[in-house]
């Protein structure tokens, strides 16, 4: 077929796919990850057995969180990512959130989380290159925060 026909065919194929290609509800896709108690078991439930490179992610958390119910977590990375996952090791389950990164969008996220007591926050990034990255930071929690 000539080029025009080929492109037409390609566009037709795309039209059949759902509009939001990147929409992925990780709670529905990976239910076991949200029940896992440790960071390592949650990571495995989410991404399988992987080796993680410890670089490329900027994680900003306070050294001491005065309010354990609202700890600011800032995540930035230039890695071309498919997903970014947030864990901590102070609460009954370790998974906090998983971001699906839409194609080509920057990763510059801020959220506020709860931690029952002092511990560590871990961020994992699933790269489009098939590699995995992570970073962990410890923090102290002055007033434990799962109490509403």
Partner 1 sequence: MKIKAKEKDGIIKAKVMVKHDMLTYDVAKKKGKEANFITHLEAKVGDKVVYEISSSQFLSKNPIFKFTFKGAKKGDKLTVSWEDLKGTKKSGSKKIK
**Binding stretches for partner 1 (CB under 8 A):** 19-27, 34, 69-71, 88, 91-93, 95-100, 102, 104-106, 108-115, 145-148
Q: Residue 58 CB, nearest distance to partner 1 (Å)?
A: 14
Nearer to partner 1 by Cβ, of 1 and 118: the residue is 118
Nearer to partner 1 by Cβ, of 28 and 63: the residue is 28
Nearer to partner 1 by Cβ, of 6 and 146: the residue is 146
Quote the CA–CA distance of 91 and 108 in Å, as a whole number: 25
Q: Residue 29 CB, nearest distance to partner 1 (Å)?
A: 8
């Amino acid at each position: 077929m000539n080029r025009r026909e080929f492109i037409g065919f390609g566009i037709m194929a795309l039209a059949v796919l759902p509009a939001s290609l990147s929409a992925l509800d990780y709670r529905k896709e990976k239910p076991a990850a949200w029940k896992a108690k440790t960071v390592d078991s949650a990571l495995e439930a989410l991404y399988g057995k992987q080796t993680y490179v410890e670089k490329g992610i900027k994680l900003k958390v306070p050294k001491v969180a005065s309010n354990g119910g609202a700890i600011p977590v800032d995540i930035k990375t230039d890695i071309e990512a498919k997903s970014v996952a947030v864990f901590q090791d102070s609460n009954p389950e370790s998974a906090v959130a998983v971001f699906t990164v839409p194609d080509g969008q920057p990763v510059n996220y801020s959220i506020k989380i709860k931690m029952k007591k002092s511990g560590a926050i871990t961020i994992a990034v699933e790269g489009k290159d098939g590699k995995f990255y992570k970073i962990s930071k410890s923090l102290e929690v002055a007033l434990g925060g799962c109490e509403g």
